[in-house]
Amino acid sequence: MNYYSTKNKNHSVNLKDAVLKGLPPDNGLYMPEIIPGLPQDFFENISSKSINEIARIVSKTFFSEDLSDDDIEWIADDSINFEAPLVQISTNTFVLELFHGPTMAFKDFGARFMSRLMSKLISKQDKTVHILVATSGDTGSAVAQGFYDVDGIHVTILYPSGKVSKIQEQQIATLDKNITTLEIDGTFDDCQHLVKTAFLDKELNKKILLSSANSINIARLIPQSFYYFSAISQLEKVSDLPVLISVPSGNFGNLTAGLIAQRMGLPVEHYIAAVNANDTFPIYLESGKFEAKSSVKTISNAMDVGNPSNLGRIFDMFESNPERIRQNISSFSFNDDETRNTIKKVYAETGYLFDPHGAVGYLGLEKYRQDQQINGIILETAHPAKFKDIVDDVTDGNLELPERLKKYMSRTKTSIGLNRNYASFKDYLISIAG
């Protein structure tokens, strides 16, 4: 299967080029030429399938022309080796917990899968692949862990200074070997701008083989579709009402993966793009005109994105038609006070503890659904302990850190401070390439 640029459908490349290059030269985003539908018997028997079985089937649908079945099964089995349980917290309200991987965030699905896919794609070449990643929180830790000590790959992670949680920073900025972290004096949008500029720098790309592990890379998105199918698999065991999924949204890769799953036949009635104070998408749905904004710092920091990259893919899927997008997606914005109040309220009423991102997802679901008889699924994208200070303050509690997070807190920070000037960033990249 080939992959085209969202800015020029005549620019088409194979899987290896799409994954290793990350971005097309025209600054578009790669999309599969075909989003293949899954057979009817897949959905008739979905309730009997594990997430690992789903990963195998969906992966083969996309990658069978490029990789052997054995390679695809190894990638799926070695990367998706943890669960995404669906938890019912009240009548017709469910939470899909995506934090049971190594770094306790949903990014583990895409990052682990991508690292193994990329290792297969580069196994017969000598040149080191340099992966650039901009993160507003959990992407960095998932990518760092997913690619740690992988031969032939060096990872540079950029994160905004003072704008990620302490636990997130410890997960991002304490590794060695093939992982380097840059603490950028700026916002996530500044980090993302540096990465995109590097990919478009012809001089730099002649010297270094650059790739991306952000959700701008198609290899991150396809495995994120797995847990949407898994959610329906688990839900079919308890209910047959129509399904609405609320997705806490920042760079919109998670939502795009859900839309891809829907195109493959996933029976989802509607999606909610729940956002924090960074409200460019709800404004777009209301006005029909997209305008990027500077990002605003919030307690749901992984969603602090003023110019979401993956909107380019959503616009492509719906031919930039706002009305068609509205038929499939609604979007609402919520502030920090509403988020805090929701964490407190849901915990008091149900005993379920959301992180700030999941709380925004809950707010989006409730605002859209109101009294409709419809199953609502909220994607809980990170363990609440990753935002311990916020959660403890709201609930007057003292949430204990899971062992997987405790081990990071004693490690020494190794990140390099850097300004947001592109020339400084380029000099750094050239220096590590030798």
17 within a domain of the structure (yes/no): no
131 within a domain of the structure (yes/no): yes
372 within a domain of the structure (yes/no): yes
Distances (CA, A) of 27 to 35, 123, 254, 354, 422: 22, 27, 20, 36, 17
pLDDT digits (tens, 9 = 90+) for 24-41: 989 899 999 999 999 999
Average pLDDT over residues 103-107: 92
Q: Domain containing 431: what range?
A: 105-217+401-434
126 within a domain of the structure (yes/no): yes
269 within a domain of the structure (yes/no): yes
- What Rg do the C-alpha atoms of the chain give, in angstroms? 20
Q: Which of 109-118, 235-244, 250-259 is predicted with the least confidence, judged by mean pLDDT?
A: 235-244
Which residues have C-beta within 8 Å of that of residue 48, sequence separation ≥ 6? Answer: 233
Q: Are residues 323 and 272 in the same domain?
A: yes
Q: Are residues 392 and 409 in the same domain?
A: no
pLDDT at 214 over 80: no
Report the 10 Å Cβ neighbour count for 421: 14
Q: Which of 53-62, 139-148, 298-307, 309-318 is predicted with the least confidence, judged by mean pLDDT?
A: 139-148
Q: Are residues 395 and 405 in the same domain?
A: no
Known catalytic residues are: 107
pLDDT digits (tens, 9 = 90+) for 154-187: 999 999 999 888 888 998 899 889 999 999 999 9
pTM: 0.90
Residues 48 and 45: their CA atoms lie apart, in Å, by 6
pLDDT digits (tens, 9 = 90+) for 308-350: 989 999 999 999 999 999 999 999 999 999 999 999 999 999 9
The answer to whether the beta carbons of residues 263 and 35 sit under 8 Å apart is yes
Q: Which of 91-95, 165-169, 251-255, 328-332 is predicted with the least confidence, judged by mean pLDDT?
A: 165-169
Average pLDDT over residues 229-240: 86
Residues 20 and 290: their CA atoms lie apart, in Å, by 29
313 within a domain of the structure (yes/no): yes
Distances (CA, A) of 323 to 140, 245, 286, 288: 35, 19, 10, 8
Q: How many domains does the chain have?
A: 2
* DSSP symbol at 251: S
Helix intervals (H) in 22-50: 40-44
Q: Are residues 380 and 234 in the same domain?
A: yes
Dihedral angle, C-alpha 53, 59, 64, 67, nearest 10 °: -100
Q: Are residues 229 and 372 in the same domain?
A: yes
Report the 10 Å Cβ neighbour count for 281: 23
| Mean residue pLDDT across the chain | 93
Q: Are residues 146 and 163 in the same domain?
A: yes
The answer to whether the beta carbons of residues 388 and 355 sit under 8 Å apart is no
Q: Are residues 190 and 117 in the same domain?
A: yes
pLDDT digits (tens, 9 = 90+) for 367-393: 999 878 899 999 999 999 999 999 999
* DSSP symbol at 33: S
Q: How confident is the model at residue 124 (pLDDT cuts 50, 70, 90)?
A: low
5 within a domain of the structure (yes/no): no
Residues 188 and 210: their CA atoms lie apart, in Å, by 20
13 within a domain of the structure (yes/no): no
Which residues have C-beta within 8 Å of that of residue 366, sequence separation ≥ 6? Answer: none
pLDDT of residue 434: 65
Query: What's the CATH code of the domain at 140?
Result: 3.40.50.1100
Q: Are residues 258 and 306 in the same domain?
A: yes
Sheet containing 86-90: which strands, arranged edge to edge?
86-90, 93-97, 375-380, 243-248, 270-275, 329-333
Q: Are residues 379 and 235 in the same domain?
A: yes
